[in-house]
Structure 1
Amino acid sequence: MKLHQLTFALAAGLFVAGSALAHEGDGHAAPATTTGHVHADGHEHGHGDTDAIGVAGQPDKVTRTVNVDMTDAMRFNPSSVRVRQGETIRFVVKNSGQVKHEFVLGTEAALKEHYELMKKFPEMEHADPNQITVAPGQSGEVVWQFTKAGQVDFACLQPGHYDAGMKGAVKVAAGKPAKSAQASGGHADRKH
């Protein structure tokens, strides 16, 4: 029994070390915490790729709410969202399907990298503030501040879902966000 535990510990250590080396020099900042993907065995695989897409938003700074529906047709509705640089968005993500789906914000390169990892480790759960795994019939939230103009992609990284086209984009326009009706609880974004 001790040999099995030692083998497992060594394998887990090598995976974590290999993951850290795989990210070395790729332009990603080190994560501020050790959150990331959580395997069924409890160990985590963190990613620090959020610098390019913004920062975790503060719930009391939300400028508006965007409702996103995830379906078993492997689509997000809406699949395109427009925001202003500096805006903090509360994404209320609903899984209206019968299988587990995810909402993960990232660069296209980071999403593809994470997707390849998910294909190898499909039991992984996401624990970073820019992503959420949602069980069938359930909802969850991601609060995110978009600090840079440009495009931020989002996708479902469950094996097979990304390849089936379950992805979308947030278009971030340069400039300051307009004043919002935050006191009234914000408003849902419409498909553009």
Structure 2
Amino acid sequence: MTTKLLLKALALSIALPGAAMAGGTHAGDHGKDKAAQQSHASTDDHHEMMALGQPAKGEVTRTVKVVMREDYEGDKPFVYEPGELTFAAGETVRLHIVNEGEEVHEFVMDTMDANAEHKEVMAKFPEMEHDDPNSVRLEPGQEAEILWTFGKPGTFEFACLIPGHYEGGMHGSLTIN
């Protein structure tokens, strides 16, 4: 979560205490139909370049499926499959995100610091959702896509920032080579 979004969420919570919670979003209406959003990452030019890249710029070279689900019998109740992602700098990828679980889950990719900051805000406002090109929130059985061009080499993270999910194991390493 960017500092700008954090400040916006905090300002709303102070100025309009009921509105931030009732609205259910902190950067737009993610309550709209997911099918209509599937390609929003490739059409939203108002989002600035992030450390890990930007919405797709160029032709998609491959598709990577990421499954979100619960595993109550394992040592981590919330999981992503695969648990680690690796991309090349400049690579444009279609991330096909599928919620095969029985609970709502998110896929948010960003720096570890930005995700930690965002997680703190989500703990205070658990009904907040995302309208960022680097994230999706899905109900059970839903699918969505993020079309993304990865930036400079580094280690990043993907995570579910719904309270309790990160702590339950729902995060993984995203490496750009």
Settle same-fold status: TM greater than 0.5: yes
Given that 1:39 and 1:125 are in contact with CA atoms closer than 8 Å, whether structure 2 keeps it comes out as no
Distance 1:139 1:42 in 2: 20
Q: Deviations over 1:133-179 (max 9, x none)?
A: 01101111111111111112100011100111100122111xxxxxx
Counterpart of 1:88 in structure 2 is 92
TM-score (norm 1): 0.66
Offset of residue 50 of structure 1? 5.5
TM-score (norm 2): 0.71
Counterpart of 1:56 in structure 2 is 55
SS in 2 for 1:118: helix
Count of residue correspondences: 142
Q: Deviations over 1:16-39 (max 9, x none)?
A: 3799xxxxxxxxxxxxxxxxxx85
Q: Which runs of 5+ in 2 are unaligned?
A: 1-7, 15-19, 29-46, 72-77
Structure 1 residues 18 and 119, CA, compared in 2 at 3 Å: closer, same or farther? closer
SS in 1 for 2:23: coil
Structure 1 residues 162 and 50, CA, compared in 2 at 3 Å: closer, same or farther? farther
- Give the superposed CA RMSD: 2.7
Pair member with larger Rg: 1
Residue 116 of structure 1, aligned match among 120, 137, 155: 120
- Tell which has more relative contact order, 1 or 2 (C-alpha 8 A, sep 6+): 2
Q: Percent identity?
A: 41
Residue 66 of structure 2, aligned match among 65, 68, 78: 68
Q: Which runs of 5+ in 1 are unaligned?
A: 1-12, 20-37, 174-192
Q: Which amino acid aligns with 2:88?
A: R
